[in-house]
Chain A
């Protein structure tokens, strides 16, 4: 579709798609929205589909997002979960913003979860980090760095126990 054609082409801009916080929980697999194109009790659901469905699909590419139009007397959102259960949200006569808040509070990740995910991704993607979940467990894996003392003990001059005279040197054992 051409960029500036159709109603509200701002919906297709990356800035708009990225501006939402609608990251669904990992256990949501399918999100379906039933609404009619006419009727004042469907106005909020219709507006939600118009403005926010693209954002949800953009933020959750692994989730199937489908709409069913003109098949129901009252609008509702149904989420199918990966454990076989489903969540049915009655959105009759609710406005677009009310629906967004409800989806955020019910099906989306919290701000703490998002921050944790972002931190985890940052750790994984940054090659300078080492430790849990990183590309390397220890800095000693880098050539030229000091090896781990468990593998190659540090010189006696670097170890306070011997440098300050708290223990006797055993030159037959360690360097």
Chain B
């Protein structure tokens, strides 16, 4: 079983690229789920200890390295403090809060000026808008007044027309009167409006035709 797994892994790990050039960029390693080899199971690796002098030399070097590193760190921290002092000399670290407060205060003053100007301009704009609205309102009222006048005149005109209208109770009388007046339309008219009656006319000849635009038609009403 293990051999089969190993063989399959080996095959997959040494898969050749399509260009048939043997390139393997990742070194093959035993996967993590494969246990320790049985041959290595009880093998105790020999711990190599250096000689005492060698060990003392190594300790000395390590201690020296530690001391130098610590001193360098201390030196760097001192340098950082000096840089902070330098920034303080430039005025960007010491009185930052005071500077910010002064900037905010100056900004508030400018904001107050801008706000006052805005309120003034808004008030002027509102007055102008109000005037425009009032002017438009007056124009509309004038138009409405003219329209009412025209309507009233039309109503008066129609009432005057109604005065000469045929009423229902007079309808029979008017019909009889109209039937009694026989009008003969068999005549000729020349371009100057002269009427020429025929030789066999029996009734009253109609007058010259009225202009339909200027004539008022009778209104039949109650």
Are A and B associated in one complex? yes
CA distance A74 to B121 in the complex (A): 13
Cβ–Cβ contact B82 & A106, under 8 A: no
Cβ–Cβ contact B114 & A91, under 8 A: yes
- Whose C-beta in chain B lies nearest to the C-beta of A112? B91
Cβ–Cβ contact A74 & B118, under 8 A: yes
Contact among A89, A113, A132 for B92, CB-based, below 8 A:
A113
Return chain B residues, CB-CB under 8 Å to A41: 118
CB distance from B86 to the nearest CB of A (A): 6
Q: Which of B65-73, B95-103, B149-157, B184-192 contacts A (4 or more CB under 8 A)?
A: B95-103
Chain B, residues 100-142, CB within 8 Å of chain A (1/0): the string is 1001101100110011011001000000000000000000000
Given A83-B96, A113-B91, A133-B83, A88 and B111 contact (CB-CB distance below 8 Å)? yes
Task: Tell yes or no: B90 within 8 A of A by CB.
Answer: yes
Task: Tell yes or no: A47 within 8 A of B by CB.
Answer: no
Cβ–Cβ contact B100 & A81, under 8 A: yes
CA distance A27 to B93 in the complex (A): 9
Sample of 25 A–B contacts (CB below 8 Å)? A25-B99, A26-B92, A27-B100, A41-B118, A81-B100, A83-B96, A85-B100, A85-B104, A90-B114, A90-B118, A92-B114, A92-B117, A92-B118, A93-B118, A106-B103, A106-B107, A106-B110, A107-B103, A113-B92, A116-B90, A117-B90, A133-B79, A133-B82, A133-B83, A133-B86
- Chain A interface (Cβ within 8 Å of chain B)? 25-27, 41, 74, 81, 83, 85, 87-94, 102, 105-107, 113, 116-117, 120, 132-133
- Chain B interface (Cβ within 8 Å of chain A)? 79, 82-83, 86, 90-92, 96-97, 99-100, 103-104, 106-107, 110-111, 114-115, 117-118, 121
